[in-house]
C-alpha cells in the first residue's frame, strides 16, 4: 500500500502554556474575572500567574486552543499528519510545549522570538467553568515573513486542509487570509473556529473579511450568540444563528459551507448552506464522576472533527469523532488526551 501523504492538516494560532488550577470565587473576584470566559490580560491581571503557581498548586499544561486541536487531530490520524504554526519564545515554557507536542506526534514550526517570553494562559477552574486570562507574549509576534519562509510555505502548499483558531485574529489576520486564499484557489477545506465571544465582538472586521472563505465554521453557543449580537442578526436561537453562518456569501462555490455549534452537554447543531433543515446530534453521555475538567473540550471537538474532514468522512461521522474526542479530553486534566491511545 502506498504510504499516506504527510502533514495533510495545517493549523495556525497561538502556542500558550496553560497555568491551570482549581480556584474559587475569591480568586475570580480578586482579578475581576468571570467564571466562564477567555480574555487578553490587562496590567491588573499580570500577578495571577505567580498567584496560581504559588498559592493554588497550578499545573503547567500545554495549551493554546488550536495547538490543542492540532494535537487532538494528530491523536486520531496516521503518524505525521498534522503540522502547527505559531509564535513562541526560546525559554523553559516553549521547551515544555515542544515536549508535549513531540509526545503527541505533532510537528510544530514556531516563529521563535529570542527576546520575548512564550505566551501563557492562566486557567481558573471552578466547577464546570473555566476562566482564561492570556498574556500572548511571543505568540503575538507571529508574522507573514514566517509563513512565507520557503520551508514553511512548502508545508502550506503541501497541506490538504487548514484549521485556524479564531484567537489568531488578535495576532496576524494577513496570515489567516493567505491560508484562506490558498484553500479557496486550490479547493481545499478551510476550517475556522470562532474561539471566544470577544473575537466576533471586538475583532469583527478581520473575522468578517475571512468569512467568505470558511468551508467549516465551528463555535459554541456563547460564541454563536456573540456573533449574532455583533452582527445584528436579531436572534439568540442557536439553530437560526447556525443557518445564518452557513449561508453567508462564499468565495469557493465548489463547497457548501457547514456551521457547527457545540453546546456543552446539549446537542451539537449543524447547518449546511442552502439546506433548510438544521440537524441536532446528542453528545456522548459521561458519568459526572468521570469529568475531570472541561478546559479544552471545544478544542478537542474541533480536533476530532478536523480528523474526520481530513480523512474525507461523511459529516455525521466528523461530528461524532469530535464528540468522541471531546469526551476523552474531559476525563483528563486540562486540554489533554489519554495515553495509551484509544482508537475511534
Ligand atoms: C488570544 N487568546 C486569548 C488565546 C487564548 C487561547 N489560545 C489562543 N489564544 N486564550 C485561551 N486559549 C487557550 O484555550 C484553551 C482552551 O480552549 C488556552 O491556552 C487553553 O488551552
Strand ordering across the sheet containing 9-12: 107-113, 82-89, 9-12, 161-165, 190-193, 216-220, 258-263, 266-272, 279-281
pLDDT tens-digit map of 254-277: 999 999 999 999 999 999 999 999
pLDDT band, very low/low/confident/very high, at 130 (cuts 50, 70, 90): very high
- The closest-lying atom of ligand 1 relative to the alpha carbon of residue 299 is 17
Give the pLDDT confidence score for residue 288 in this predicted structure. Answer: 84
> How close is the Cα of 4 to the center of ligand 1, in Å?
31
The burial of 288, by beta-carbon neighbours within 10 Å (0-12 exposed, 13-18 middle, 19 or more buried), is given as exposed
Q: Is residue 123 within 8 Å of residue 20, measured between CB atoms?
A: yes
Q: Choose the residue to mutate in 59, 64, 125, 202 for probing ligand 1, maximizing ligand atoms within 8 Å of C-beta.
A: 64
- Cα angle, residue 331 at apex, residues 327 and 333 outer, rounded to 5°: 125
> How close is the Cα of 342 to the center of ligand 1, in Å?
25
Give the pLDDT confidence score for residue 294 in this predicted structure. Answer: 87
Judge if the upstream peptide bond of residue 277 is cis by omega within 30 degrees of 0. no
Specify whether 299 is catalytic: yes
Among all chains, which residue has been given the C-alpha cell 496560581? 52
Cell triple for 335? 486540554
pLDDT above 80: residue 1: no
Stretch 176-197: mean pLDDT, rounded?
98
**Percentage of the chain lying above the pLDDT 70 cut:** 99
pLDDT above 60: residue 53: yes
Q: What is the DSSP string of 131-153?
A: EEEEE-GGGGG--HHHHHSHHHH
> How close is the Cα of 180 to the center of ligand 1, in Å?
21
pLDDT tens-digit map of 143-169: 999 999 999 999 999 999 999 999 999
Give the pLDDT confidence score for residue 222 in this predicted structure. Answer: 96
Q: Is residue 23 within 8 Å of residue 96, measured between CB atoms?
A: no
pLDDT tens-digit map of 61-100: 999 999 999 999 999 999 999 999 999 999 999 999 999 9
Judge if pTM exceeds 0.90.
yes
**CA nearest neighbour of 169 among 132, 211, 130:** 211
Cell triple for 297? 473540550
Let me know how long the chain is: 344
Contacts of 178 (CB under 8 A, 6+ apart): 144, 147, 148, 156
Cβ-based neighbour number of residue 157 at 10 Å:
9
pLDDT above 90: residue 314: yes
Amino acid at each position: 500500500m502506498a504510504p499516506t501523504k504527510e502533514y495533510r492538516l495545517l493549523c495556525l494560532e497561538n502556542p500558550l502554556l496553560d497555568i491551570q488550577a482549581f480556584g474559587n470565587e475569591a480568586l475570580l473576584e480578586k482579578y475581576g474575572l468571570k467564571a466562564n470566559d477567555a480574555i487578553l490580560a490587562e496590567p491588573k491581571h499580570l500577578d495571577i500567574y505567580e498567584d496560581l503557581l504559588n498559592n493554588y498548586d497550578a499545573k503547567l499544561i500545554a495549551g493554546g486552543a488550536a495547538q490543542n486541536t492540532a494535537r487532538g487531530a494528530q491523536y486520531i490520524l496516521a503518524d505525521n499528519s498534522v503540522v502547527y504554526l505559531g509564535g513562541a519564545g526560546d525559554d523553559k515554557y516553549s521547551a515544555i510545549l515542544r515536549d508535549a507536542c513531540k509526545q503527541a506526534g505533532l510537528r510544530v514550526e514556531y516563529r521563535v522570538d529570542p527576546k520575548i517570553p512564550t505566551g501563557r494562559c492562566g486557567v481558573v477552574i471552578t466547577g464546570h467553568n473555566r476562566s482564561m486570562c492570556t498574556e500572548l507574549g511571543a505568540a503575538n509576534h507571529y508574522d507573514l515573513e514566517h509563513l512565507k519562509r520557503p520551508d514553511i510555505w512548502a508545508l502550506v502548499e503541501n497541506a490538504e486542509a487548514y484549521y485556524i483558531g479564531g484567537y489568531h485574529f488578535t495576532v496576524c489576520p494577513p496570515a489567516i487570509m493567505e491560508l484562506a486564499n490558498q484553500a479557496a484557489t486550490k479547493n481545499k477545506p478551510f476550517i475556522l473556529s470562532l474561539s471566544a465571544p470577544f473575537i466576533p465582538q471586538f475583532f469583527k472586521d478581520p473575522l468578517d473579511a475571512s468569512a467568505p472563505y470558511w468551508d467549516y465554521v465551528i463555535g459554541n453557543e456563547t460564541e454563536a450568540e456573540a456573533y449574532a449580537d455583533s452582527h445584528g442578526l436579531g436572534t439568540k436561537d442557536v439553530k437560526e444563528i447556525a443557518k445564518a453562518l452557513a449561508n453567508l456569501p462564499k468565495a469557493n462555490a465548489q463547497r457548501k459551507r457547514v456551521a457547527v455549534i457545540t453546546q456543552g452537554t446539549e446537542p451539537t447543531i449543524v447547518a449546511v448552506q442552502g439546506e433548510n433543515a438544521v440537524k441536532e446530534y446528542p453528545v456522548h453521555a459521561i458519568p459526572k464522576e468521570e469529568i475531570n475538567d472541561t478546559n479544552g473540550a471545544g478544542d478537542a471537538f474541533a480536533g476530532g472533527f478536523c480528523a474526520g474532514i481530513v480523512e474525507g468522512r461523511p459529516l455525521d461521522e466528523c461530528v461524532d469523532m469530535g464528540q468522541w474526542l471531546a469526551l476523552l479530553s474531559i476525563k483528563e486534566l486540562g486540554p489533554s488526551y489519554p495515553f495509551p491511545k484509544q482508537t475511534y
